[in-house]
Every structure is written in C-alpha cells, then in structure tokens.
Amino acid sequence: MKKQRITILSLLYFVGAAVGAEASVAPITFAMKSKEPQMVIDVEDNQNAIPKNKNNAELFAVDINAKFPEYEDLHKAYTKEKYYDYGYEFTWNIGQKFRPDFKAKIAAFGMSDKRLKRQGEDYFYAMIKMLPKEVYPYIGPYLHQVPNMSERILQMPGIKETKNKFPERIAPQLQNIPNIEFLSPYLYFLLMPEVWPGYKFPTEYPKPKVNLPQTKYDASFMERIKKLVPPENYFPSQNPYAPKLADKLRTIEPTQTSPLSSADVKAFISTLSDLKDFASDLETQTKLVEARVLINAYEQSQGTSLPLNNLKDMVNPCQRLAQRLKLLKMDAEFVKIVGKQGFSLEEWAYTCDKTIKAYRKSKITATTLQSIINIQNNAYKEEISKLPDIFKGTQVITMLAVPEMYRAPYGDVMAVKKNRRELAKIFKKLDYKIVGAPITIMP
C-alpha cells in the first residue's frame, strides 16, 4: 500500500500546482509583473492527440536539423497581450488612483450573465474528481479561500460541504497540538493521516502463485528459434561480438544507431567538465527555457507535438538541446567547447543521448523493468480506461516514453558500464542536468 500513499501525495501536489494556475489572474508567463506582452501557451490544446501510424521510437524522435522560423518571429507569433486587464497585480497593491474606464469595464462584466472560463479549469476539475473522497476535507476549505476560484469547482459534491469546516480525522502526530483548529487551511493536507510515513494501510496479501510443471530443455526447439530470429538480429545497430580494439577507438561520425565505444563515453565525459561555465550562465539558462517553450508551441501549431511534448526532452534530452541551441544561434559557441573532443553539435548530441540511455539501462531496477514489461504487455489498459478523457492521452504517452528512455543495445550498455562510476560522479555534480537538459534516472 506504499504505492497508494505515494499516489495520494502526488495528487495533492498536483492539486496545489493547479490551484496556483487556477487562482492566478493571468496565464502562465515568463515575467508575471512585467507590463510587456507576455508568453501565453494554451495547455489544453492537443491534450490527447497522439500521432497515428508511428511506432514508439518515431513518436519521440528528434530531428536536430528541423527547420524552425527565426527566434524573433516565433517570439512575436506566440506572444500576446493579456486578454483582460484586472487593474492591479496583487490584492495588497491595487493603487489609489480612480480609473473611470476601468470602473465601466468591470461594471459591464459584473452585469453579464456569461462566466469567463479560466485556463485549465477542465483539467483541474477532472483532477479533483480523480482524488479519493477522503481527501476532500483537507483541500476543500483551502479551495473556498482561493480568490477567483471557479464556482464550478466550489460547487462540486464533497467540496461544497467543506467550506469553513475543520477536518475530523487528524494524524496522531498532530492531535495533541493546542489550538490546532486555527491552522491555515493551506496546511490542512498535513492533517491527513495517510500522508504520514507511520500510517499503516490495510494489508493486501498477493495471490498465491501456481507452480507450473517443469519443462525439459529441448535443443531442437532452440535451434528452430534461432532460425526464425537469428542472434545477429537481436541488436541490429551493432555486431554481436565487437572486437576489443574497437572499444578503445573513437567512432567516426557518430549517428543515432552507430555503436558506442568506451572511448566515445570518455570523450563525452570530458565535454561535460568543459561545459560547466557555459551551463552556469544565467542568461543562457533563461534563453534555453524560453526556446523550449517556443519550440513546443510551434510544434503544437504544426500538429507535430505530443500531449506532453516535454517527454521528448526526457527520451532524447541532448538532441532537443541541440535544437534549442540552433534556434538561439548559440550552436557555434557550443561547438567551440565540445569540438575540443572532436565532436560536432549533432555528433555530441547523438553520443550524449546514447550514453544516457545506456547508463539508465545499466542501472535499471527490477521494479522499473517489471513496469516496462507491464507497459509492453498492455497491462494497464483497464486502469487507463477508467481515467477521465482529459487525462488518457497524457497517461498513455507517458507510459510509451518509459521503454524508449531505456532503449539501448547491449554493446552500448557494456561501454557505459566501464565508465559508470565517472558518469555517476559527473551527473551528480551537474545535478542531473546537461545545460538545462534533464538526465532522468528512474529508481
């Protein structure tokens, strides 16, 4: 039942994040206080649109040399004024100057029967419906205090009844605190017994396994299997028995499918140390974050994005980084650094992604491996069918991304294992990010 406790905590976390989005007076922007035009991306478009007629690898494939409009054109195309001026930025700083035009506008809005639907409202509504009813007393009082909260959410059965009510069930760790009833509703979720590590969930015993009869080894059967699936086809991008000398040599013009040698991994590790100053520059970090949003917005407008387009950054982080560097015209500066080890931008990105995937696979746990097997066997089909439609697309594409994060041939894994200690040390030092690109290592 540990999994259930983690699930509840995760849902509470997302509710908190969604509350921030729901209560904000404007869509998510780069500079909330800025008076300049701000970046506005509709998070609900293409929520469930998964491209058809593509295998899993093609879904997350990245074209480093893809043609994008100029950065200035993208910024102009996906930047617009706020759709409504609230007249102030914060409730504690509304100003002292009377504005007749603003008064007329808000009076017109107040007399209108039409309710403005806030960005992300459907997503937030579906998210709350997914929560167990036992969670409502711990989030409902807070929702009723959030300014501009949607009435549709406040009138939900179970949420409506929690207004100004203190939760009845309190974690044993907090029961003896005097005046605990004056705790801020924002912190009510801490009162929930299930979120505390010491909480004991009802024990669920696994079903007993049926002992299957042992089958004798049949050599002729294995020979027939080898004829149907030759061993050399197991890893199509590399020979099954590479000579030892090749592992000590660098790969000439690395591609996405070329074998990874130990020398390639060592050269890649050297570039990470050289990139330290480039990655630590705050202006560079800001530009790369903005470039990611612009590329995602452009791909969404072209119909080539995924329901969660940032999954491409998890599957192929360095190839996506190369796209952003090219968009910002920072690729030449970057190549000056990685070029010391003989890499071009594309060669470095391919080597980087192959190294990361092989590193993930070399450290894969039995739990993650079983999850991947379950995904490939479509074991979660029934659970997904029970989700609200707004979440199905994101859940499916997330599950499809996990096997791709670990897709690496045996030879690449062996090359990385020889350098795994150095990789672990440099990844930890970089906080598992390469110039802002995430190196996601699942436990």
- Percent of the chain beyond pLDDT 90? 36
Instruction: Please tell me the least confidently modeled range out of 13-27, 71-85, 271-285, 324-338.
Output: 13-27
Quick check: 23 and 146 in contact, CB under 8 A? Answer: yes
Residue 156 domain flag: yes
Do residue 382 and residue 294 come from a single domain?
Answer: yes
Residues contacting 131, CB < 8 A, separation 6+: 11, 15, 139
Domain extent, residue 379, equals 249-438
d(CA 395, CA 341): 40
Question: Collapsing DSSP states into helix, strand and coil, what is residue 48?
Answer: coil
| Closest CA relative to residue 418, chosen from 234, 253, 264, 235 | 264
Query: Band of the pLDDT at 247, cuts 50, 70, 90?
Result: confident
Helix (H) or strand (E) holding 39: strand 38-39
What's the pLDDT score for residue 236?
54
405 and 313, same structural domain?
Answer: yes
Residue 128 falls inside a structural domain? yes
Q: Does a structural domain hold residue 101?
A: no
The label of the residue with tokens 């295998």 reads 55
Lowest mean pLDDT among 3-7, 322-326, 411-415: 3-7
Q: Bridge partners of 93? A: 90
Cα–Cα nearest to 153, from 138, 164, 139: 139
Q: Check residue 341 and give its pLDDT.
A: 93
pLDDT band at 15 (very low <50, low <70, confident <90, very high): very low
Q: Which residue has the higher pLDDT, 405 or 78?
A: 405
Q: Are residues 336 and 396 in the same domain?
A: yes
> Residue 286 falls within a domain, yes or no?
yes
Helices (H) and strands (E) in the chain, counts: 21, 4
Task: State mean pLDDT over 174-180.
Answer: 89
Tell me how crowded residue 27 is: count the other CB atoms within 10 A of its CB. 18
Residue 83: phi, psi to the nearest 5? -75, -15
Of 32-41, 269-278, 417-426, the poorest mean pLDDT is in 32-41
**d(C-alpha 338, C-alpha 336), whole Å:** 6
Angle between the 345-362 and 420-429 helix axes, to the nearest 10 degrees? 110
Q: 157 and 271: one domain? A: no
Rounded Cα–Cα distance for residues 18 and 111 (Å): 29
Residue 191 lies in a domain: yes
Q: Is the domain of 135 the same as that of 263?
A: no
State the DSSP code for 433.
E
Give the count of domains, the chain: 2
Q: pLDDT for 383-442, tens place per residue?
A: 888 888 888 888 899 999 999 999 999 999 999 999 999 999 999 888 888 888 888 776
**Are 284 and 393 found together in one domain?**
yes
Look at residue 59 and tell me if it is in a domain.
no
pLDDT of residue 203: 65
Q: 21 versus 120: which is more confidently predicted?
A: 120
Query: Do the domain assignments include residue 394?
Result: yes
Averaged pLDDT, 82-89: 59
- Give the helix ranges, DSSP H, for 25-135: 56-59, 71-77, 100-111, 121-130
φ/ψ region of 349 (left if φ > 0, alpha if ψ in -120 to 50, else beta) reads: alpha
| Residue 77 confidence (pLDDT) above 50 | yes
CA distance 326 to 65: 8
Amino acid at 267: A
Question: Which range is most confident: 38-47, 71-80, 207-216, 338-347?
Answer: 338-347
Q: Burial of 320 by CB count in 10 Å (0-12 exposed, 13-18 middle, 19+ buried)?
A: buried
Is 256 in the same domain as 317?
yes
Task: Decide: 140 and 41 in contact? Cβ < 8 Å.
Answer: no
Share of residues in the chain with pLDDT > 70 (%): 76
Res. 243: pLDDT tops 60: no
Query: What pTM, to 2 d.p., does this model score?
Result: 0.66
Residue among 144, 146, 179 at smallest CA distance from 165: 144
Max Cα–Cα distance, the chain, nearest Å: 91
Higher pLDDT, 303 or 210: 303
What average pLDDT score do residues 358-384 get? 90
- 132 and 195 belong to one structural domain: yes
Q: Does residue 229 sit within a domain?
A: no
DSSP letters spanning 142-182: HHTTSTT--HHHHTSTTTGGGTT---S---GGGTTSTTGGG
Residues 6+ away with beta carbon under 8 Å from 78: 39, 40, 41, 293, 294, 297, 298
Domain match, 171 and 300 both = no
Token pair listed for 76: 């102009």
pLDDT score for 245: 62
Burial bucket for residue 101 (CB in 10 Å: 0-12, 13-18, 19+): exposed
